[in-house]
Chain A
């Protein structure tokens, strides 16, 4: 079976796939990227390399992706619409493909008011859906303007979806729109509210969208009760049930408890019909990934 990336290979094989997340540093340190890549290598099919997440300037996704690739970790390049127009995006994507990156996640991007340059001007020439459409066209050999190119880039194309954002009734149709626009895989926002996730997946299945795109359920270990409360209060769409906050607060070893909860969530979402994999986000805690994978019985990787 032909495949463009390792991630695509595992998803197509029907095995439960796992992606992780690598946050590049707020500096020019190649060493930090390499170290994190070595930590994740062998524990996931590929790792997302975030593109200035929460609008904080970091080493670029494409550059960090190439560094990770050189360490043996397959990158999922992220591209947001916040910082580049369609000219910049297409140019960077041609470059990413030329450098050997094969997975691409298309995002609208967090608003710049969250980050460390709130006085900047945003771009938002496109949004995630028009970006997906454009990338699909590029992979077929066409620029957004319709002009043909000689050598098309190659990407296994993905997108994100947040089942916990509003309007809830529009979230499953939106996933379907992304699949229609070109998303071959979807990574979801971090799941803590399993009931709501299951209801969302029911709606996704009703639309038949799970058969058009691979869905990777997002999970993340909580570090402390404080972090759980903060996320619930401040991160849009982060629906952390009180039960988990309490367990974190009462735990003798909160980090171990966080990993335990993460494994439990992973096992539950894994059993949901239509879920093809998990996206494990241990943000600034990459070393937690091997333990989560081990405890969830997901090692060795196929």
Chain B
């Protein structure tokens, strides 16, 4: 799932002030990925509203009207349509969705200022309560079948494709002792399966054109089009 974390309230307020005299503000959460990682669900919308109200009163500002709403998703137009009245009547929207949701909202309502309330961080699973890690970089050319199910693009600091660099130590990455070396995991996974020879198969330089390095990515499926 997509992970995100809240921006500091000071940064949100700075953007809000730059927008002008916003008296009507919508704070829009999202009920899917960012709810699961406790960054942009109904509860986080509620607590952000508390925080911005305090920030408003601390700087002696007249109270604004905050409207709270959390559609099930912000990344699809159908799901944000019920927000139409609230959004069109607002001076600004603080979106607590991932970057996808923020942009869908901004594109749908081009005359409304949409302010991101989150930093979208990565795609990855929870490890335990309160801890997540990145494990997919969305590179567009999956090699997991060759790498014991561990992604060398997302889980190696140098996106090495042909084995561990010389900085791998005790299973940790040279970049930090709190980061697992993806290649240490790949090597142990492959040796467990008797597939160490898989590594040598990758020696050619990776084709990065299906990744974001090929410009904005688009996907079409004619079989699904009506």
The chain A residues found within 8 Å of chain B, CB to CB, are 81-82, 86, 108-111, 113-114, 122, 124-130, 133-134, 144, 160-162, 165-167, 169-170, 173-174, 177, 180-181, 189, 236-237
Contact = CB atoms under 8 A, between A and B. Distances in A.
A91 to B, nearest CB: 16
Residues of B contacting A: mostly: loop
A166 B158 contact: no
B175 A167 contact: no
Given A124-B158, A177-B162, A167 B205 contact: no
B102 to A, nearest CB: 23
Given A166-B170, A167-B184, A108 B165 contact: yes
Contacts of A170: 163-164, 187, 196
B206 interface: yes
Given A124-B159, A167-B184, A237 B169 contact: yes
Interface in B161-181: 161-171, 174-176, 181
Interface string B200-211: 100111101000
B188 interface: yes
Contacts of A125: 205-206, 208
A89 to B, nearest CB: 10
Contacts of B158: 81-82, 108-109, 111, 122, 124, 127
B contact residues, range: 20 to 34
Nearest to B160: A127
A177 B201 CA distance: 10
Contact of B205 (A86, A173, A236): A86
Nearest to B184: A167
A106 to B, nearest CB: 12
B164 A165 contact: yes
B157 interface: yes
B162 A161 contact: no
B164 A236 contact: no
Contact of A165 (B167, B200, B203): B167
A177 B181 CA distance: 20
Contacts of A162: 166-167
A174 B163 contact: yes
